[in-house]
Every structure is written in structure tokens, then in C-alpha cells.
Structure 1
Amino acid sequence: MRPPETVEITEPPVPQEPVETIKTATFIAAGDNLIHDTIYKQARARTTDGTYDFFPLYEHILPLVSSKDFAFINQETVLASPPFEPSTYPRFCSPTVLGDFLIEAGFNMFSVSNNHMLDKGEEGLKVSIDYWGQKEGIAVSGAFRDEEDLQNIRTIEKNDIKLSLIAVTSSTNGLYLPVKSPLKIIKTENEELLEQQVKAAREISDFVVVSMHWGSEYATKNSENQRIIAQKLADWGADLIIGTHPHVLQPVEELVSADGRKVLVAYSIGNFVSAQNEGPRIIGAMLSLDLEKNLSTGETYYKNPCLIPTITHYGAGFSDLKIYPLSDYEPDLAKSHGVRKYTDGFDINYIIKNLTMIVDDAYLQIPDNIQALLAKQYEVFLLR
């Protein structure tokens, strides 16, 4: 009789965890946060203790900001109150509590490099630097304590994707730091420094963002000089160039760098918030895109870039000023806009015409509800 055969029992293989090869993150950018006296006076009037309440101004836009990993803004006015008193055009100064609010709202990348950064002189800029220097977990670029601080490229990391931020301005409105001041800023005219900064950022981060405060105010077309500078930035290592200063929208385009990377340039994303009084100046946009980092190749790139239109709304006499995404902006609101006193015919159609004349359809996000409204208007027109 043969002995029974033994059967070897083996444990089933333990399934291997899939190896992650792609990291992702989301990014959004807001343009000029230009705080006129109307804005800070309304914020102060909402409180009874002498502080400021900026929430109603931004409340409709906050979900777009808080939902993103990276959120950039150009803080156009120097935050130096206290000790300075708040002030408006032509020499701006804004309450530091505005910065606290923006950080709490989800903004974590700030440019403080612009033509108003010296509106309160060297001392005002130092107050601003000291204020921002107390904050953790954010990247603030454009004003520096000294040469050593200038060489400390600002970075921020989310989801294992590290971004660098370099902020540059073409002008300080004829104001200058004293010759012996230790403070530093980056001007577009100093190409040697700008090249060094971008190349250094390329070495220490996955994705290089350059904020350029440039161009001509109220010009809806970028200049050839802007394009030349943008190409240089791309060749030096920039991945994304965000333009501010014109206070109106300018085109978006994709450049190719010397090493073959695609580099997105938004020449101007317009005003985020202001109390300006011309139709094109209260139509802005937030630049949205996705970031992907390929862990196998080490490359980081952007996808799905688009401009999300925004409207700064106010009533008669600049009352109840606040910002809306276009998707939440009702036609009746447009028809009640205080800007109609200065810009005839301001309505939804005016807004869409302005947007489509400047920005290529490939980069423009017109909300479905607005498209449906326009389609209905067209049907009515055909039936006439």
C-alpha cells in the first residue's frame, strides 16, 4: 500500500501595494489686491471695536481659494498699518489684519513686489517685511531684509511638490530705497540678478513661479518687450509666469523654453479687488491649473490651465463692494453695477465681449449658466 501523498500548502501571495508614480496638486492665482480707501473704510464700518472685517468683500470667492493646494495673490498695497495710518491712491497703505485674513482664507503665496511697495518709504517696506516674516507656512517674495535674505529663494511644498516663488517689479513709481539701505527688491531692469534668481530656484524646486509686475496700465494687449522678457524667464528656468500691474486682462500664451519645456505666461490677470471705475478694470480672472510630478522622471508640469473670470461689484457711490466669480454673478447685479455711471452698457454681454476679445477660448472658462443665458438671448434675437 502506497503512503498518502503529501500536499504542500502555500500561502497566497500578498498583493503588492501599487507603486505611486504621480503626485498631483492644484494651483490658483489672483491678481491685483488693490485696497482703495472705500474698501478699508467699509471693512472698518462693519466692526464696532476699530478693527476690520474683510470677509464680506471676499466671501463669494473663498471656495475657489480654500479648495486649492497653492493659492497666489499679488498684494498690491503695502501692509504697514499700524504703525502707519491706512491710506489710498496715490500712496497706498493697508491694515496688516488684511494679510491675516488672506492667509486664513487659504492664500499661501504672496507677491509684495509692485509699483506701490515704496509708498511708505523704506520704513513702510521694513514694517511690511517684519509683518510677513512672522508668518509660517507661506511663501512671500519681492522684498528682502538684506542680501542674504534676497538669496533665500522662497519655496512652499504641498503633496511632495515644491514650488519656488520669485516676485519682480518694473517700477516703484519713481520712489527709491536710500543708497545705504540694506533692504533689497528685484527690478526687471536687473536681468543679471533675475537670471541668477530663476536659475537658483530651478535647482531647489520642482516648479518655478515668477510673478512679474510689468506692462502698461490699462493696456489689454501685452507688449513685445513683455514677450521678450517672458521668453528669457522661460529659458532661464521659469515654468509659470503670472503678470500683474495693467489692472486689466491681457492674453495668455504658451512658450517653449530652450530646454523644451512648456511655459505658461498669463501677461496680466487684471484686478482681483479694487475700487476703480472703468468697466475693463473690474473684470478680472483667477488663473487655475493642475500640477503633476512624475516620480519616475522627476519632471513636474502643469495641466488644464484656464482663467476663471471674476467681477468686482459695487453699487452707487462704490457701496457694498465685493468680488464674485462670474458663475455667481447674476444679470440683474450687472445691471445695477455702480460702474454703469462711468461705463455705458455694462452688463453680462459687455463682460463676455471684454473677456473673449482679450483671452483665447482655449484658456477661458465661461460658466455653463452664462453660456445658457447667452444662447437664450441668441434664440430671442433670431425670433425677432
Structure 2
Amino acid sequence: SGFKLVSFANNPVYDQGRKGMIETLDELARAELGFFGAGRTRQEAAKGLRLEKNGVRLAFLGASQFFNQSQHHLEDPQQAHVNKSDDPAATLEAVKAARAEADFVIVSLHWGVEYQPKPRESEVDLAHALFEAGADVILGTHPHILQPLEIYQAQDGRTCLVVYSLGNFVSNQSRQYNHGVSPEKVGDTRDSALLKLSVVRRDYGAGGVRAELADLSFQPLWTENERVKSSGKEQPFIRIVGIERALTVARSELDTFVAALPAKPDKEQMAKVVRLKKRLGLLERRREIIEARLGTDFAAEHLP
């Protein structure tokens, strides 16, 4: 699927108890999938993951604001641990430690309030404090819907990025959403975005060489959620589509079909035109909603 790194700090992490959490650590290691936000010891979890790519030292940190089934009272520093961000001082110290060893620091925070389109003031304040401590990028999760993107200028001159929530990447939420019938906000849990960014080295002479954020953009995504028959039973058919590409395909299909219609289309043909136009309307409107939430400054270029 292309995933190489994941954060393992989220609210369901202890849903199967500490045993389940440790088994997941084992499976991540077995799959050779890089992870951060948790570790075999508290120290390992706090350190996160360090990588070097093309001469740039990268640090990845993760933490969760809360857990469904908290197991922290059972832990000691030598036991498997998941970072918790409700202690801002500890989170700030982890970022400062990462900054001392890395050129670029990326933090994943599982925080916020579910289904709310904006972050709370406390999340904004924490993000800004983490930037001043050395974080370059903060990626938020948990609210299940998109929240705004913010560019922040740190006092040391760094340009930092936070996306307070990237929404769901794949889920079975809002499966009954019907465009044009359901309230638009019901479809929010099926909106998402694929974030793209680069980390580049820039030489500022006497100002030193820095690894900096560059080439930032996002691609709107939509979760298609349909029911298909399999072995005599209805099963969910869920897939993620890039809205720009889906719009190009939908426009082409509609134009081709309409061009081939007879002078007097039959009912089946007319119904297909309606279906195709409704799909176009859905994709165009969800793109508008996503770009309104994240802003158009970094939206990927619209395809003709």
C-alpha cells in the first residue's frame, strides 16, 4: 500500500488491554513497518523514530491526548508505553530532545474533539508551543473530520505547519450519506486529504544551513461507500478516491455518453445521465467543502 511509517499513539491503543498493545508492537516489528508514539520502554516511546534521508536527519514523535482504556497506572518506566500529550511539559521536552538530534521534527498528535470543524484554543496553544520548542510539522488526528491547516512562523525564522486534523483516511462512517438529501455535514467523515510536502536543505551563509518545509500541497479525497452483493449477502465496498482524478473520469464519461445519445433518449438512458450528473455534483461540492476547510492556498491544481 506504500505506507512506511505510522503513529501508534491513539485513543483505542489499549482497547485490548496491555497485552493487545504489546502484540501490536510485535506485529509492527514483524511487518518491518516503522512506528513511533509507543515503545518497549517509556524512554524508547519518548524518543520516537529517527531516520536519515539524503543527508537530512528526521525525527518522528507521536502522542495521544487520551485513551479509551487507560493503562498508564499499571506502567513503570521499563514497561511498554504509549506517549500521552495531556502533560504538555513532557511533550515539549520530547520535542526539544528530538530537535537537538535532528534537522527536521514531525509530530503526530491524537487530540481534539470528535466531529468539530475547528480546534480548541488549547490545541492551538500547544501547537504553537511545540513549534517554538523545535517541531516543524504537526499532523493531527482523532476528530474524524478535517480541521484547518495553519502556517506558523517560529521566532527562530522557521516556517512551520500544523493540520489540526486530517480527518478519516478510510472508514465506514456516514455510509448512509446521500448527496443532495442528507445534511452536508453528515458527509464530513468521508472527506479527507492527502498531504504532500518536501524537506529541503537551504544554505543561508552566515545564517547556517537549514532543513526546511517546501513544496506543500494537498489533494482532496473522498470515501466511496457502497453496498455490493457477495456470497448472497450485502457487503460494504469502501474505497478512497482522489477527487481531481475522479472528476476527470466522471466528466469524460458523461460527455461520451451524452454525445452518443439518440434524439429521444429512453428512460434508462435519461436515468444514467441523472446518475452521472449527480456524481459530478457530489465530487465538485465535496472538493469545495474540503478546500474551504483547509484553505485554497495549498490545494492541488484543478484538472480540466
TM-score of the superposed pair, with normalisation by structure 2 = 0.77
Which residue of the partner structure matches residue 288 of structure 1? 196
Is there any run of 5+ residues in structure 2 with no aligned partner, and where? 175-185, 228-233, 254-273
Verify the 8 A CA contact 2:14 2:69 in the aligned structure 1. no
Amino acid at match of 1:270: G
Q: Give the aligned partner of residue 122 of structure 1.
A: 18
- Displacement of 1:190 in angstroms is 1.3
**Greater RCO between the two (CA within 8 Å, min separation 6)?**
1
TM-fit CA distance, 1:292: 0.6
Q: Distance in 1 between matches of 2:130 and 2:193?
A: 23
Letter in 1 for 2:197: L
State the secondary structure of the residue aligned to 1:222: coil
Asked if the contact 2:15/2:69 (under 8 Å) is kept, the reply is no
Match of 1:357 among 267, 292, 297: 292
Indicate the residue corresponding to 2:271 in structure 1: none
Equivalent position SS for 1:309: strand
- Aligned equivalents of 1:169 and 1:307: distance in 2? 24
Q: What do the CA deviations read for 1:159-179 (whole angstroms, capped 9, x no partner)?
A: 222211000111112433452
* 1:311 has 2:219 as partner: no
d(CA) in 2 for partners of 1:108, 1:262: 25
Q: Output the amino acid matched with 1:130.
A: D
Q: For residues 221-232 of structure 1, what are the structure 2 equivalents within 5 Å?
A: 221-232=118-129
Aligned with 1:200 (options 97, 100, 113) = 97
> Residues of 2 paired with 1:282 and 1:228: CA distance?
28
Q: How does 1:137-176 map to 2 (within 5 A)?
A: 139-176=34-71
Give SS of 1:194's match: helix
If each structure's strand is expressed as a fraction of its own residues, which one has the higher value?
2
Secondary structure of 1:125's partner? helix
Counterpart Cα distance in 2 of 1:300 and 1:364: 23
CA shift digits 1:101-145 (9 cap, x unpaired)? xxxx33222101111111111000001112223455x53111111
Following superposition, the deviation at residue 325 of structure 1 comes to 1.1
2:148 aligned with 1:251, yes or no?
yes
- Work out the CA distance in 2 between the residues paired with 1:258 and 1:156: 26
Q: 1:336 to 1:312 in 2, by over 3 A?
A: farther
Q: Give 3-state SS (helix, strand or coil) of 2:59's partner.
A: strand
Q: Distance in 1 between matches of 2:294 and 2:42?
A: 39
Between the aligned partners of 1:144 and 1:346, the Cα distance in structure 2 is 46
Matched pairs, number = 257
The answer to whether the Cα contact below 8 Å between 1:234 and 1:258 also exists between their aligned partners in 2 is: no
Amino acid at match of 2:218: L
Cα-Cα RMSD? 2.5
* Whole-angstrom CA distance in 2 between matches of 1:336 and 1:157: 49
SS in 1 for 2:22: helix
* Cα separation, 2, equivalents of 1:366 and 1:219: 27
SS at match of 1:173: coil
Question: What do residues 274-324 of structure 1 show as CA deviations (whole Å, max 9, x unaligned)?
Answer: 111131111100111121113663300011212211111121366321111
In 2, distance between residues paired with 1:324 and 1:306?
Answer: 17
Q: Find the partner of 2:246 among 329, 332, 338.
A: 329
Q: Output the CA distance in 2 between the equivalents of 1:300 and 1:294.
A: 6
- Match of 2:103, as an amino acid? D
Displacement after TM superposition at 1:258 (Å): 3.0
Distance 2:17 2:56 in 1: 36
Tell me, yes or no, if the aligned pair for 2:140 and 2:162 is still in contact at 8 Å.
yes
Aligned residue identity for 1:322: R
Rounded Cα–Cα distance in structure 1 between residues aligned with 2:289 and 2:84: 31
TM-score, structure 1 length as denominator? Answer: 0.62
Q: Does 1:276 align with 2:193?
A: no
Distance across 2 between alignment mates of 1:171 and 1:350? 34
Q: How far did residue 253 of structure 1 move? A: 1.0
Larger Rg: 1
SS at match of 1:175: coil
Corresponding position of 1:320: 237
**Aligned residues of 2:154 and 2:160 also touching (Cα < 8 A):** yes
2:88·2:126 contact (CA, 8 Å) conserved in 1? no
User: 1:239 aligns to what?
Assistant: 136
Judging changes above 3 Å, is the alpha-carbon distance between structure 1 residues 346 and 247 closer, same or farther for their aligned structure 2 residues? Answer: farther
Gapped regions of structure 1 (runs ≥ 5): 1-104, 370-384
1:226/1:197 CA distance change after superposition, 3 Å? same
